[in-house]
């Protein structure tokens, strides 16, 4: 528990620092971008500096994307929670994702009568997208991505490293059959800026934001990973006692990336 507390404090400190840097950096980038765009407007495409300016503008844009992610990671409070049907959110996010990654087959497995969860929908969507993108990146040759929702209780969580609050939980799972991770990687995945991806591909902020968002919802994350076999991310979100009214059956569907 002490170790977890230290970890949480460390993440908190990094978050504050990152937020400050991101904010200042964002202002600098905005100024550069504004000027680059102005110069570009006044250059015709044949100008010897045109390509250089284009490249500056492009790099600035990718810098801005990074600072936006950083700000997202560092953001505090102001979560807009609403009673949420996570089956809906899971389906919509999976559909949107599968349109962008055609090599991945998404297998939806949604529990009927799922508990309603008080959640910030935009933030949970971000969590799911980050998990899906990582799963797809772990299967460069394509493959199956299983996403599941289930009702569960704190009993299912007992005996783990943390002490769950009693009550209902909804479990969101993202299961890939990708390259998996070794133990040292697993220990560091939630650290901001930790990435094993090549320069320009990974920022190392995806799972750090996942961690922050799940924590803000009083939830828990578990990771199970086997090298060469795949990875399962399980997210437990505290739920209300209310169930979503539907047929009560588990729904299964396979989406081919055809959209
Ligand atoms: P990024 O995706 O930018 O690298 P993340 O914080 O999302 O940053 O992930 C950190 C690291 O965790 C990744 O670089 C990768 O090594 C590892 N990782 C995350 N998800 C998976 C997965 N599903 N399979 C294998 N490795 C993963």
Distance between CA atoms of residues 195 and 185, nearest Å: 9
Query: How remote is the CA of residue 41 from the centroid of ligand 1, in Å?
Result: 39
What pLDDT digit, counting tens, does each position of 171-206 carry? 999 999 999 999 999 999 998 888 999 876 777 888
pLDDT tens string 93-142: 999 899 888 899 999 999 999 999 999 998 899 899 999 999 999 999 99
- Indicate if ligand 1 lies below 6 Å from the C-beta of 178: yes
% of the chain exceeding 90 in pLDDT = 50
To which residue do tokens 């997210």 refer? 235
Question: What per-residue confidence (pLDDT) applies to 159?
Answer: 65
The model's pLDDT over 222-232, given as tens digits with 9 standing for 90+, comes to 999 999 999 99
186, 195, 235: residue to mutate for ligand 1 pocket, most atoms within 8 A of CB: 195
User: What's the gap in Å between 128 CA and the centre of ligand 1?
Assistant: 13
Comparing CA positions, the residue from 4, 30, 117, 126 lying closest to residue 73 is: 126
For ligand 1, mutation pick of 101, 134, 140, 181 (most atoms within 8 Å of CB):
134
C-beta of residue 139 within 8 angstroms of C-beta of residue 105: no
Residue 151 contacts by C-beta under 8 Å, 6 or more apart in sequence? 111, 113, 114, 115, 168, 169, 170, 171, 239, 243
The radius of gyration of the chain's CA atoms, rounded to the nearest angstrom, is 20
Instruction: Give the mean pLDDT of 13-17.
Output: 73
Task: Give the tens place of pLDDT for each residue, 82-93.
Answer: 999 999 999 999
Going by pLDDT thresholds of 50, 70 and 90, the confidence category of residue 78 is low
CA of 178 to the centre of ligand 1 (A): 11
Q: Give me the pLDDT at residue 258, please.
A: 44
**Mean pLDDT over each residue of the chain, to the nearest integer:** 86
Torsions phi, psi of 24, nearest 5? Answer: -65, -40
CA angle, residues 72, 78, 171, in degrees to nearest 5: 75
Q: Is the CB of 120 under 6 A from ligand 1?
A: no
């Amino acid at each position: 528990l002490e170790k977890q507390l230290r970890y949480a404090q460390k993440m908190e400190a990094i978050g504050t620092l990152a937020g400050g840097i991101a904010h200042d950096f964002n202002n600098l980038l905005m100024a550069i971008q504004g000027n680059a765009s102005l110069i570009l407007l006044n250059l015709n495409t044949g100008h010897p500096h045109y390509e250089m300016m284009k490249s500056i503008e492009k790099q600035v844009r990718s810098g801005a994307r990074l600072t936006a992610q950083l700000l997202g990671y560092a953001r505090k409070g102001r979560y807009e929670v609403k009673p949420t049907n996570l089956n809906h959110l899971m389906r919509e996010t999976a559909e949107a994702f599968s349109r962008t990654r055609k090599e991945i087959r998404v297998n939806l497995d949604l529990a009927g009568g799922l508990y309603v969860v008080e959640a910030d929908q935009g933030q949970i969507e971000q969590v799911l997208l980050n998990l899906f993108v990582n799963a797809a990146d772990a299967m460069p040759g394509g493959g199956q991505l299983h996403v599941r929702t289930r009702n569960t209780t704190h009993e299912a969580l007992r005996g783990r490293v943390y002490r769950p609050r009693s009550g209902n939980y909804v479990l969101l799972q993202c299961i890939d059959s990708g390259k998996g991770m070794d133990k040292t990687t697993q220990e560091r995945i939630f650290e901001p800026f930790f990435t094993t991806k090549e320069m320009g591909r990974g920022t190392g902020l995806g799972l750090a934001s996942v961690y922050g968002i799940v924590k803000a919802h009083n939830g828990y994350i578990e990771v199970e990973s086997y090298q060469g076999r795949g990875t399962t991310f399980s997210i437990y979100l505290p739920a209300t006692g209310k169930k979503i009214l539907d047929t009560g059956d588990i729904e299964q569907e396979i989406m081919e990336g055809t959209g």
